[in-house]
Structure 1
């Protein structure tokens, strides 16, 4: 069916019996067809007055909007024929003068009522002809209005039947049914008012091709889009064999068992059918997907990903599903997200191996974290490069690995686990895979869990003592998953969780930095250490502090105590600082300073002794505050 010809034939009818409805899904291009293809093809024959019903909540506002758009269209003839427009303007002025003469005198002066030509809209007559041309009314977004369906269609019918306007309604008829209290009433109203409904199905190949060619983007990226054009058409058109998807589900899940299990499967099958029926075809969502993916593409290329096709297709599937409100987020072992609905809607094209969590968070939550995404892409590349059984088991989820590889490589993996040679994320993957082994009834070699916990502690010690950072942005185990893990597995994870939650790594790093800077460059220490986070003032930090103070000149000694108190003066009020251990170290610092002060006095270094005494007094005030707080608590 040629939609343009159908629309032309309707517009040719004089005194139509009813309106013509063009119905299709949201975002499928109905309005685009009307405004960019149909109207330009007949613009010399008809005058089109287009009204969006989006958000209009009363019939009075609707009638005003129709007249307003009619007058705006009339004003467009100004450049074509000024005389004709002047007739419209003269008519408006005559109405204005008539009303003004009848207004109270104070209103006439203030102009509080009928102050502009737009205020006269309610008094302006409109006709189905405009300068010898037939006027076609186009009502768009019918289902998005806040007026009841009965009242709205009745008003539109008045324009069509009583005023003789050819009227085109652009709508998503399914949404009108969804919001109607009684679908039968809508059908009855439609039968009297709508002459014919034309279903709109876009030419998806043309839409995708135009979207790609008209898109402003890099040459290389446009080449990627062209390369995958047919598969992008498949995603937008939803050209999937849904019957086969249903049959695959039934073959997998319908097994001999209790009636309750069968009823549950039948319920899930019905939910699957409903989901497939909602597969989106929204052109706007599709354009958003391929436009947003250019940023992803640039990031992938920067990280040395050679072929981005699977990433493009998976990203587009995810975006389409999310925009349609069909995304069902589920936390899965080893991942922040899992998307069963996307996999069901696009079974041949969506692969969550090509959707890292950082990209998902950007699509779903609008958060782009450059560092996290970079780490996740590097992890993907590491998986891609994994060749030996040991490398594969360190990077892949157990269900993705062949049994032969597990048998061959797991004992080697245990050696690395016990030795503390896995990253913390790899240890978490190891715990997940132990859990997977029970889910899939796969027997693993005997595991010594005390050695596993010791291996985790070795890795944590390595992180603390080295300059390497913990890549804790990748894997985690939620508390709601505890039931799936054994006590040994859970206790091993708690060591990692406690390390990360308590910021042990940050505290240890800052203590090391404190000792290093205060021992080497006081000016840098004064500048850099004040805003760091600490969980205690350790004996090692005390030793570095007393040595730094002794080696400082009097100028630095003068500033030393004030700077020190700025860091530790409120330690008793900080919930993250260990009070008892810090107090012990501060008392030792006070005692050491007393010894240093006596040395200065004996050597006649009275200025240095004065700075030291000032430092001691400030320390005693801090320690006294801690002692008072302890007494109050007791």
Structure 2
């Protein structure tokens, strides 16, 4: 006979021979079982009155709680419209049948009702009976181990209802903790086992139907996020596996693992509530296997709430390589350390929600996953199944088209395409124009970000079987890095800022740094800086400008043609300013400006000579 049938049989006995104890671990669903399954089974024949002993500080308060709940149940049974109209008056008159004779004689039938309608102590006059109408009363005393009162005193109080009033009584507790509490109590003349033998005639160990409880919890869960409820419903089999047996062997024997696993349904409710925030982020970032993240989060939450995780232990210098965590040991099939981040763990531990931290951790996972897919195709393409190769390559190709690879990864991509082509394994037709555009997008991103110049550490030999389109794609990368465009762009930005406010440092920047050219942006910034600076700085710019550029235009990579056009543009702007100085009679500014024009003409002539010489050499 299962637990429900046992309790039904007990409650249907004509007269109880003692109380029944329903024992089970915290949060396993004992109270839910009483309030839902047992109440539903007995609703036509019994009235179940549940009293939580948690927080009740005296035996008198327990008795008052029983009286108050019994009275409420009486009113609920006797009146459909509680306390209203004729039915309400009839219900109150019916209370005369359950008050003691002394009270009736003192007030009389009508006087009692009138005098006590406004009294807060009406429960003091209620006589608790084993029946309400034609229904038997079942008293359920919950949370015995959580009471601050003496266990013996509580059981003595409960015994009065069971033995003397013949009311069917169920005591709900985690009995092992009741026994532990016995040793904390002092001046005890009777041991728990002794008084238990008198009052409790049978103890039932509650074996919950976790699948039913989990399904009910999720069906009744009120979500804030669109789609989360449906996600939980589809994840029920995954959640069930956390609370029921697994097939594959763990590090510990199956029975021992299951015994030590936390099975707290309240902790599950908290975890489902907390994971809703995480679900929204994972869903937004298009993570797959979100149910795996949910499973790992629940496992960690259960262990954390059960105080199984030691947060004060010293870090192992080798990490967790040689030792499994408690959550990995207890949930070897359900917990995946790759599906929970440090930010999520902190959220479980102390309730601190750090959206930025968790988002950054997930972004890093995405980035590493993308890299690992490329490495998988590059290094292990002959180990993959056909479907996996097609899937990974399609995703990789989309990122290559959109500029989603680093330059280093683009080179690996080109090399991988060549190898797959040779083995006739290319799953898709590659649009190399789109690949080239993606490379250019990545180059522009690097320029905008101001990153340092990377080195091309994964060079490829274009003579090693590469096709023309593969060579062209690689050349874009090679030229970008060999021409030191990133370095130039960064130096240019710094120069343009300095020339306006600190021209001395700007000139020194040109002297000591690499500039592949002098472009129109620099011409505009130089003209603006020269015009707005005082004469002292104007003179410095004019006297040092040509010498500063000498090392750069002597470099064979210097772009003479585009630079000479920019120098000419600068000269025109400075000439316009010279004309303005003459009109405004700014004589000193006019002298420094004309001197600068002379320097620019000399510089332009030198560069033109180099262009002419290169033309003759060709």
- TM-score class normalised by the smaller sequence: 0.5 to 0.7
Q: Determine whether 1:186 maps to 2:192.
A: yes
Secondary structure, in 3 states, of the residue corresponding to 1:245? coil
Is the alpha carbon distance of 1:380 and 1:129 closer, same or farther for their aligned partners in structure 2, counting shifts above 3 Å? same
TM superposition shift of 1:40: 2.5
TM superposition shift of 1:363: 1.3
Counterpart of 1:136? 138
Counterpart of 1:87? 94
Q: Determine whether 1:346 maps to 2:328.
A: no
Counterpart of 1:199? 205
TM superposition shift of 1:151: 1.1
Q: Determine whether 1:75 maps to 2:75.
A: yes
Counterpart of 1:528? none
TM superposition shift of 1:318: 0.7
Alpha-carbon distance in 1 for matches of 2:8, 2:94? 30
Is the alpha carbon distance of 1:519 and 1:140 closer, same or farther for their aligned partners in structure 2, counting shifts above 3 Å? farther
Counterpart of 1:377? 362
Is the alpha carbon distance of 1:387 and 1:344 closer, same or farther for their aligned partners in structure 2, counting shifts above 3 Å? closer
Counterpart of 1:27? 27
Is the alpha carbon distance of 1:222 and 1:78 closer, same or farther for their aligned partners in structure 2, counting shifts above 3 Å? closer
1:96·1:114 contact (CA, 8 Å) conserved in 2?
no
Q: 2:121 aligns with which of 106, 119, 122?
A: 119
Is the alpha carbon distance of 1:133 and 1:387 closer, same or farther for their aligned partners in structure 2, counting shifts above 3 Å? closer
Q: Determine whether 1:295 maps to 2:277.
A: yes
1:335·1:357 contact (CA, 8 Å) conserved in 2?
no
Counterpart of 1:44? 44
Secondary structure, in 3 states, of the residue corresponding to 1:246? coil
- Within a 5 Å distance, the mapping from 1:467-506 to structure 2 comes to none
Alpha-carbon distance in 1 for matches of 2:103, 2:300? 57
- Within a 5 Å distance, the mapping from 1:416-427 to structure 2 comes to none
Alpha-carbon distance in 1 for matches of 2:351, 2:364? 22
Is the alpha carbon distance of 1:353 and 1:146 closer, same or farther for their aligned partners in structure 2, counting shifts above 3 Å? same
Secondary structure, in 3 states, of the residue corresponding to 2:31? helix
Q: Determine whether 1:161 maps to 2:168.
A: no
1:55·1:145 contact (CA, 8 Å) conserved in 2?
yes
Counterpart of 1:235? 242
TM superposition shift of 1:133: 2.8
Alpha-carbon distance in 1 for matches of 2:191, 2:231? 50
Q: Determine whether 1:176 maps to 2:158.
A: no
Is the alpha carbon distance of 1:64 and 1:216 closer, same or farther for their aligned partners in structure 2, counting shifts above 3 Å? closer
TM-score (norm 2): 0.53
Counterpart of 1:6? 6
Alpha-carbon distance in 2 for matches of 1:77, 1:120? 18
TM superposition shift of 1:27: 1.3
1:95·1:123 contact (CA, 8 Å) conserved in 2?
no
Q: Determine whether 1:313 maps to 2:295.
A: yes
2:246·2:333 contact (CA, 8 Å) conserved in 1?
no
2:96·2:104 contact (CA, 8 Å) conserved in 1?
no
Counterpart of 1:583? none
Alpha-carbon distance in 2 for matches of 1:90, 1:14? 22
Counterpart of 2:614? none
TM superposition shift of 1:467: 6.8
Q: 1:286 aligns with which of 268, 272, 280?
A: 268
Is the alpha carbon distance of 1:234 and 1:121 closer, same or farther for their aligned partners in structure 2, counting shifts above 3 Å? same
Counting matched residue pairs gives: 375
Q: What are the superposed Cα offsets for residues 50-100 of structure 1, whole Å, 9 maximum, x if unpaired?
A: 211111121111111111111121222342565353131697699779889
Alpha-carbon distance in 2 for matches of 1:280, 1:384? 32
Q: What are the superposed Cα offsets for residues 575-622 of structure 1, whole Å, 9 maximum, x if unpaired?
A: xxxxxxxxxxxxxxxxxxxxxxxxxxxxxxxxxxxxxxxxxxxxxxxx
> Which structure's CA Rg is the greater one?
2
Is the alpha carbon distance of 1:388 and 1:333 closer, same or farther for their aligned partners in structure 2, counting shifts above 3 Å? farther
Q: What are the superposed Cα offsets for residues 238-278 of structure 1, whole Å, 9 maximum, x if unpaired?
A: 65788x53379xxxxxxxxxxxxxxxxxxxxxxx97x8744
TM superposition shift of 1:165: 0.9
Is the alpha carbon distance of 1:114 and 1:208 closer, same or farther for their aligned partners in structure 2, counting shifts above 3 Å? closer
Alpha-carbon distance in 2 for matches of 1:165, 1:247? 44
Alpha-carbon distance in 1 for matches of 2:259, 2:325? 16
Q: What are the superposed Cα offsets for residues 253-308 of structure 1, whole Å, 9 maximum, x if unpaired?
A: xxxxxxxxxxxxxxxxxxx97x8744211112112223322321220122232332
TM superposition shift of 1:143: 1.3
Counterpart of 1:362? 347
Alpha-carbon distance in 1 for matches of 2:259, 2:533? 78
TM superposition shift of 1:385: 2.5
Is the alpha carbon distance of 1:98 and 1:240 closer, same or farther for their aligned partners in structure 2, counting shifts above 3 Å? farther
Q: What are the superposed Cα offsets for residues 335-377 of structure 1, whole Å, 9 maximum, x if unpaired?
A: 8999811111112221212111111111112112222112111
Alpha-carbon distance in 2 for matches of 1:196, 1:28? 20
Alpha-carbon distance in 1 for matches of 2:43, 2:320? 54
Secondary structure, in 3 states, of the residue corresponding to 2:202? strand
